Structure 1
Amino acid sequence: MPKKPKTIYICNECGATFQKWLGKCPECNSWNTIVEEMQDTPVFKNEIPFENSIHPLSQVLSESVQRIPTGIGEFDLVCGGGVVPGSIILLGGEPGIGKSTLALQVAQHCTTLYCSGEETLQQIHLRSHRLNIKPDSIHLSSVTDIDHIEALIRTNAPQLVIIDSIQTLYSKDITSPVGSVSQIRYTASRLADIAKQTQTSILLIGHITKDGSIAGPKILEHIVDTVLYFEGDFTRDYRILRAFKNRFGSINEIALFTMTATGLTEVKDKNTLFVQSHDTSFPGSVISATIEGTRTILFEAQSLVTATSFSNPRRMADGFDVNRLNLLVAVIEKHAKISLSSFDIFINVAGGFAIDDTSCDLAIAAAIISSLKNIVIPHSCGIIGELSLSGQVRSASHSLRRLTEFSNSGITTIILPRNNVSEVSNTGFTGTLIPLTTIAELTQILQRL
């Protein structure tokens, strides 16, 4: 007589198990994430054979891995130069952001098995027709049973398998409902084993929660080799693909796309997304440059400083860390001798772009002073530099790359830290370099532009 399944409690965030329900998980300190499930004894199938030997590291043969090019340069860039055979990639993003569209466009460039648990095969066909997808190399299936999927992979030997989505997979060996922590953890582990045994690359599409994290146990992100997030603003056409984990490449790269009627298109001139040409400049607008992996991206920082009607002035930022904004305001007040305690300050990075580069501190400070003093900073001027708590302007990282991007975009005047002048003075830049030592000098320099 089979044993009755035992009730356990699992944390949705970290996957920790407990014998009773708790309001707060003692492992990850998350509240209200522990759910009740029936404990199963899963039957592991197709286990990797035990190899009764060890290998000295010096004797392990080093073979160059031939990555699979997807035909989409931006996607390959984020993955580290293409998809590694035997790897498993997790792609997350908000509903409707374009995850399935991106996956289908990737699928057309290699032999692909597309397993859909959310859309019917007819719906996928309609979307592929709209996107002008070449259907020859794509094979569709609507099965969501992990055993059947494994059989399809071993029988057809595709280069790439797309699972849309991981939350729809299930195993008959697990009695928990589809989408539960146990099901997601077990099916993801099975897929990871299958990928390594067959050298098949697997792309998992995942849902995200209200706070922006991928739904399911946190252990899911540990199982996979690469975690990609697809971001964007539904009011705009551009999309950004970021890598938050990558065992085979950098996590600092981003991919830029625009969403069109025929699918996602790679952005060739990335600076046109976040910097638009204006016939005339206006107070509070500053051009700066940030580093994203191997890319240098120009952006426009906008500031609005107005008299407050509240006892505590408001500090709001879109695309910039509000805590960093409060720090910069304190530095300006202390070392530039400019009182901001009676003004509301609003910061916006144009185009919905988000930056966390401290080498853009000086540009944000210049935008605040420009708006307060009604100083127009021409868009032919770029500003870079980090601000310290002592009011010193510290060197900007990768200053040569930033200056090169400024020069290529027609910017002829650059305000930069004095320590960076020696680095960029021999680059052949024909414009004007204005060195800065402290924040106290900034107002006078802006007034002379």
Structure 2
Amino acid sequence: MPAPAAAALPRDTPTDSLTAAAAGKLATEALRSGDIDAAYQHARVAMSQTPEDPQVIFLMARVLGLRHRFPEAVRMLDRLAVAHPETRLPTLGQTSEWLVLHGDYAGAESRLRRILDDAPDAMMAHRALANLLLGLGRRLEAADHLRTLCRQGDIQESELLSLFHVSIPIAGTGVTEPLNDLAASLDLIAANQLQEARRLLLESSLHDADHNALLGRVLVLLHDTKGLEEWIPNPNPDRSDSHTWFAMGAQHAWSGDHASATRCFCEAVLQDPTDGQAYELLSRSLSELGQQESSHAAAERAELIEQTQVIAAGLKPSADQRLAQIDELVQILEQLGRRDEALAWQSVQVLYGQSVLTKQQAIERMRQINQRRLELRQSGGFGPGDPFVVCGVELDGLVGGELGRREAE
């Protein structure tokens, strides 16, 4: 489909003296210098002369995006992708960025997922989708993409911090601005502003299953027994609904049904093995059931997880101090079976240790880390197995009370 003709230029624009290539070059130079208006004028000249040129179309769309004319820019690149299928993936990536800025988060997510359907190893798409999902409060989904980056050895330190507590962010470590009430509520919980989080969740215009699940967790953290009694869990929660499992576990525990509580807490930690609060409550219910060995394991797990989160929240600016903290993190992550994260932090450690390592030593250390990552990828040993995550609890034998009746229906 032919591109739309560019609007008429001002009379004093020297169109006759510029070729499309020259105008495009001037537009690019203007963009580098931050002169968006000049870039727009030059791009219009190029478009008027070669409206079918893919490079010119992409340049014009880029300028329109910088002028916040996002719908026009998106339509222009969509037409380009139809006319030139080889541009499909880069246009999906660029237009997804504009749609986020325009507030069309569903549209942006759809385009990023289409990229990953065609190119599952596109790390830029994994990173963009993780950031978008974090901004939307969908942290479990975001963690899947961050873990992909981690296991490919292509993750940044700021992104690694999000993996220390997946369900709830750690205060002061977030790099993504909340894009909706759900994400804003999570930030309030991280800051221990629980009453404000409850108010925001109750007053949100979009009170969907995700909001309801998070409200359940907040009620538990507030020790609001009456509120939790009145809270209605999402029907048939799936295995990704960690907040619902957590709140349901507390409901059962507070009513004395520790078998059902244990089952729910196990479901919660299977989805988020960084949920120290779930492990703490799991330990109590297991103790009530007389399963002391598993109870002690869960309590130890909660303590180790808390240690990682405390260190992550207090990383020092000094390279020497940070090296010692990272060394402690690596040791704890190994104990938790989170070997993918441990390796990623060892890579960060090499970067901070450049003042004490020779160039050859740093190269050799990175080679060893990459070799270990390859071995783990081949063996499937990046993370802990389910029996370790649930501290050896046999889930099939834990059906009691209301939870048992639900599963029997």
The normalised TM-score by structure 1 is 0.28
Q: Which has the higher contact order (CA 8 A, sep 6+)?
A: 1
| TM-score, length basis structure 2 | 0.30
